[in-house]
Structure 1
Amino acid sequence: MFIRLVFGLLLVCGAAMVTDASECKDTTIGKCGILWCHWTREFAIKYCPKSCNYCHLLPTPTTTTTTTTTPAPLNWNQFTPCSRSCGGGTRYRVPQCTLNNIDTCPRVYQDCKEQPCPLATCPTGENHYYGLRGSCCKPSPSDPCGGNPRPVAGRVFGGQDAMLNQWPFMVRLEIEIAPGQRSLCGANIISKEWAVTAGHCIDGIAANKITAFVAYGTADQLQLSISQVIIHPDYLYPGIDIALIKFSTVLTYNEYVSNICLPNGEETEDDKKCYIVGWGSVQPTPVLLATTLQQAKVRKLPYRFCEQAYSGRTFSGDLTDERVSCAGRVGGGVDACVGDSGGPLACQRCSSCSWYLAAVTSFGPVQCGPAGTPGLYTNVAGKNEAWIRGIVTGLQSGTFGCQ
C-alpha cells in the first residue's frame, strides 16, 4: 500500500479559565490580524487572545513562571511557526503575488519538527497512543467499538505489514466489474451487519458481484456475500464518496473481527496522527498489490494545502473542508494507492485509546505519494454520519471530544 495539513489544534480538557478580562492581552510582536486568529486555536489563545476574542479560554494565572518564545511576525516569504513542537507538523510561507494580499496569495507548505517527541511516562492504567511516544491514552475495554488488540508499530505506501489482528474492522472487497475482471477495495466494519466503503468502489455494481473477506489471511477468515448496497444519495466522486454494504451473514466478533467507532462528535484536528490501512499497491507503477494488509501513519493536513493542490481540477468545485480531508506528508512518500479506496483514515479519540473512522480513502494522484499532492479522504463526521445512523441501528451513542 503506497499509503498516500489543517494546522495543529491542541486541546486541553478541563482547564481553569481566566475570570478577569483585564488580565488578557496579546503577546505577539506586531499586529494580531485575522491570519493569526485562523492559524491554530492554540496559537491564537496563546499569542493573540485579546484580538481573537479568546480571553475566556486562557488558563487562570498561577505563581509558576514560564518562558515562552515569542514568534516573529508573518512577513512575505517568512515561515510561520511550526504547528507542532515535535512528532511532525506543518508550516508555510507566502511569496508575494499579483494579488498583493498575504491572506489570499498561494502558500508554500513544508513539513517541520518531524523528530520524535520525548518519551512520555504514562500513569498507571494508561498506554502510549499507538505509534506515538509523547502522549498517553486511557484504554476503554467497555467501549462497544474501536478496540485494537495490538500496539501499532509500522506505516502503507511507505508502509509495512500489519499484524493479523491489528485492524479487526478491516474488510477486503473483491468486486467483479466485468467477466473475469475484478477490482479491489477496502471497507470498515461498523456493526455486525454493515460496513462503510467508498461510493466509487461499488457505484453501479450489483450486490451479488461483491465478495467480502473479514479476518483476511487468518485461520478465522470468512468469505461473505453482500445482500445490500446503498450509495449516498448525494454521491460525488471525489467529495461525497461514501457508501454502505450489508453482509448476508451476521458477524460474530472475536480477536480478528470487530467494529470501528463512528466519530460521535469527535473532531479530527489538523496534524493529528492517524493511520491508513489496505491491500492496495505498494508502488505507483506498475501496480503491485500487497498480499499482506499494510498500514501507514499519516498526518491530517490543512485543508488550504489540499485546496491549493487540487485547484484547477474539474472536480475542485465539489471539494469543501466539510466534505473532505487530506492526509499524508507535505513532502510525500506515504499515501494510499490503487486498491486502497474504501479503507479508513482511522484515528484515536482524544479521551481514550479507542479508534474511530475519521474519513474514508477516496482519491489521489496517479503517481501515489508525490510531494505537494496529498490523498483525499471523505469525512465521516457531520452529514455523512447522520446519513449512516439513519440506516444502521444500534451504533455507539453519546458525544465524544475534548473541547
Structure 2
Amino acid sequence: MRHHHSFTGAALVFVALFACIVSVYGQCSDGRCVDLAKCRSNFGQLNLIDLRVGVSEDDGGVEGECDHYLQVCCDNDDIIDGVSETTPSVIVSSSTTPRSTTGDSKFLECGYRNPDGVGFRIINGRHNETEFGEFPWMVAILESQTMLDIETQAFICGGSLIAPNVVLTAAHCVHMKEAESLTARAGEWDTKTESETLPYQEQKVQRIIIQPNYNSAVQFNDIALLVLEQPFQPDENVQLICLPPQGAKFDDENCFATGWGKANFHADSYQVILKKVQLPMVEHAQCQEALRGTRLGRNYRLHNSFTCAGGQDGVDTCTGDGGSPLMCPFRGSETRFYQAGIVAWGIGCGTAGVPGVYVKNSMFTEWINQELQKLGVNDDLFD
C-alpha cells in the first residue's frame, strides 16, 4: 500500500507539473507576446481583438495566447525591438474611407468616423466599447494635481477637437480652472494601456475661452474653448469634428455620444475603454415636459441653449462624460458627423423617459467661428 501511495503521489506531481508547463508555454510557444505594432507579420493584416482576454473567468474572460488583449504571439524573427527600426504609422484600417496621413501634415475633411476601427477590430465587446480610433476627434481633458509631493494627471472631462490647436468642451468643466494646470489628450482609447497601434498625443492648454453669456449658477450657455500651446499632429486616430451650421436642428436623428464616464450614477469608477451610446434626439418641448416630471417641478423651463437626447432605460451619458461630444450624422451619411451637442447635465443616468441634456452647439457656431478667426485658424490646415 505504501508503494502504491508513493506512485500515485509522484504521478500527481508529474501531472501538475505538466499542466503548469502547458499553461505557461502552450499559450505562445512559437515566439513571444508583443504589442501589435511590434510584430512585422502583422503589417497589412486585419487583427480581431477579443476583449475577453485578460478578464477573469468570473467576469466572462477567456484564455488567449497572450495575457493582454492588445498583444499578439509573434515569431522571434518578426519581433521589432527598440525604436531604431521604422514601423508603419498604421498597421491597417478596415475603414472604406481613405484616411492615411503618413507623411502628411494636414488634417483631412472633418467629421469622418472610422466605424471599423484603426489597426484592429474588437470582438466580444460587452459594454458599448468604441473601436480604436472610431471617433478620432475625442479628447480627454486632464488636470495636474499634487498629492504628497507626487504630481498626477486626473481625468476631469471630455472634449472634442475642432481645430488642430482648439478643443471644444463644456464651460462647467473648466470654469475656475487655471489653463496651465490642464492638458488635452487626443487619440486615447484604453486609459490603462499604451499598447494601441497608434500612440495618443498630449498638448498643454494655453488659454481658456468661456462663452461670455455662460451662467454658472444654472449652466446656461455652457460652452468653452481650450486653446493649446501647440497643435496636435494629424493621424488616423487624431482628426477633427465638423461644427453644425448656425441654427441647424437634429430633432429626428439618431446620434452618438462618447465618453469615459461612469456606467451609471452609482458606479465607483470611470470606464477604461472609450464607450459610445446611440441616442435619439428629443424635441425641445417634449424634453421640457419630461423634465417637469422630475424633481425640477412643473414650472421648469428648458433654456434655449440646451438640446436633449436619450430617455431610454439604461442608455445614457453619465457622471464624468461632461464636455464630451454628441454627434449626429450628415443627412444621407453613416460615416460623417456634425457635433450637435456637448454633454451638459441630467437627472440621474439612463432613467426611462428622462432624456439627457446637452449644449445646443448650433446656437454657438457663429461665436466659435469668430473665436477661431481671432486665433488665426484657417482652411490651409485642412485637405
Please give the range of the TM-score, normalised by the shorter of the 2 chains: 0.5 to 0.7
Match of residue 296 from structure 2 = 313
Query: Structure 1 residue 150 and structure 2 residue 115: aligned?
Result: yes
User: SS at 2:188's partner residue?
Assistant: coil
User: SS at 2:287's partner residue?
Assistant: helix
Q: Is contact 1:177–1:205 with CA below 8 Å preserved after alignment?
A: no
How much does 1:376 deviate? 0.3
Mapped to 1, the partners of 2:153 and 2:230 lie a distance apart of: 25
| 2:207 aligned residue (214, 225, 228) | 228
User: SS at 1:390's partner residue?
Assistant: helix
| 1:196 aligned residue (129, 152, 168) | 168
How much does 1:268 deviate? 3.3
How much does 1:306 deviate? 1.5
How much does 1:381 deviate? 0.6
Q: Following superposition of structure 1 onto structure 2, how do residues 3-402 of structure 1 map, counting pairs within 5 Å?
A: 144-151=109-116, 160-176=128-144, 182-217=154-189, 218=196, 219-236=198-215, 237-265=218-246, 267-311=248-292, 313=296, 319-320=302-303, 322-329=304-311, 331-352=312-333, 353-365=335-347, 367-382=348-363, 384-393=364-373, 394=377
How much does 1:314 deviate? 8.7
User: SS at 2:204's partner residue?
Assistant: strand
Q: Is contact 2:264–2:319 with CA below 8 Å preserved after alignment?
A: no
Q: Is contact 1:239–1:319 with CA below 8 Å preserved after alignment?
A: no
Mapped to 1, the partners of 2:365 and 2:253 lie a distance apart of: 20
User: SS at 2:285's partner residue?
Assistant: helix
How much does 1:144 deviate? 2.2
Q: Deviations over 1:118-166 (max 9, x none)?
A: xxxxxxxxxxxxxxxxxxxx97989721111224899xxx951111110
Q: Is contact 1:214–1:257 with CA below 8 Å preserved after alignment?
A: yes
- Shift of the 263–395 alpha-carbon distance from structure 1 to 2, 3 Å rule, reads farther
Letter in 1 for 2:199: D
User: SS at 1:391's partner residue?
Assistant: helix
- Shift of the 143–374 alpha-carbon distance from structure 1 to 2, 3 Å rule, reads same
Identity of aligned residues (%): 26
Q: Is contact 1:190–1:260 with CA below 8 Å preserved after alignment?
A: yes
Letter in 1 for 2:174: I
Pairs aligned (count):
253
User: SS at 2:163's partner residue?
Assistant: coil
User: Rg bigger for which structure?
Assistant: 2
- Shift of the 243–288 alpha-carbon distance from structure 1 to 2, 3 Å rule, reads same
Letter in 2 for 1:220: P
Q: Structure 2: which 5+ residue stretches go unaligned?
A: 1-95, 100-106, 190-195
- Shift of the 373–314 alpha-carbon distance from structure 1 to 2, 3 Å rule, reads same
Letter in 2 for 1:387: W
- Shift of the 187–395 alpha-carbon distance from structure 1 to 2, 3 Å rule, reads farther
- TM-score, normalised relative to structure 2: 0.59
- TM-score, normalised relative to structure 1: 0.57
- Shift of the 147–348 alpha-carbon distance from structure 1 to 2, 3 Å rule, reads same
User: SS at 1:190's partner residue?
Assistant: strand
How much does 1:313 deviate? 3.0
Mapped to 2, the partners of 1:396 and 1:296 lie a distance apart of: 32
Match of residue 89 from structure 2 = none
In terms of fraction of residues, the more helix-rich structure is 2
